[in-house]
Amino acid sequence: MPAHRVPAPRFVPAPAPIPADPAATDHTWPDQWPLRTQLELAPYDTAPGCARAHARAVLREWGADDDLAEAAELVTSELVTNAVASEQHRGCPDPVRLWMLGDQGAVLLLIWDATMPAPVRRAATPDAEHGRGLTLVDALSHRWGFYHPAGPPGGPPAGKVVWALLRPEAPAPGQFIP
C-alpha cells in the first residue's frame, strides 16, 4: 500500500526588521519606501561580491537608472566589505545584514553588523590597498551616516547600522532623510 505523503509545512522565516535609530523622531520611516529587499550574509570574504550582485539584480528589477545602479553597487560593496572586516576582526560569526529601500529614483542602503566601532574615513596614500572605501561612499552618496540601534532594555546597543542615500538629485524641501 503506498504511503500518503503529507507535504512538509512551509516555513518562511520572517525577515529581520531594520534596527530602529533611537534618535529618529518618526520610527515608521522605513514603511514610507515602496520598494524593499533584504539580504543576510555570513561574514566571509565572498559576502561583498554577493551583496553587489544582489544590488545589481534588484536594481535592474526596480528599473533603476544605470548611473544610480552602478553607484549603489559600489557603495553596497564598500559598506559590506567594512562590515565583514569588522566582524572578522571581532572573531564572531554574526551575520551582516543588507536592506535596500527604494522609490522612484532613490535608493537607501542600510548595512548592519554586530560590532560597535564607528566607521572612520582614512587618508589613503596613492599606493595604499585600503582606506578609500568611505571616501568613495561619500563621493557617490547624497548623504551617509551611521547609528547604534537601541539594544534590549538596560543592555548595550545592538551593533551599528551604516546607511547611505543615493539620489540623482537633491531631496525636495521637507522630505525625510534618516
- What pLDDT sits at residue 122? 77
Sheet with strand 35-41: strands edge to edge: 35-41, 96-102, 107-113, 160-166, 143-147
pLDDT, one tens digit for every residue, the chain (178 residues): 556 676 766 776 788 899 999 999 998 999 999 999 999 999 999 999 999 999 999 999 999 999 999 999 999 999 999 999 999 998 878 999 999 999 988 999 999 999 999 998 877 766 666 667 899 999 999 999 999 998 777 666 689 999 999 997 644 444 444 4
- What pLDDT sits at residue 176? 45
CA distance linking residue 138 with residue 161, whole number of Å: 16
Catalogue all structural domains in the chain, each as residue range(s) with its CATH number.
38-121+130-166 (3.30.565.10)
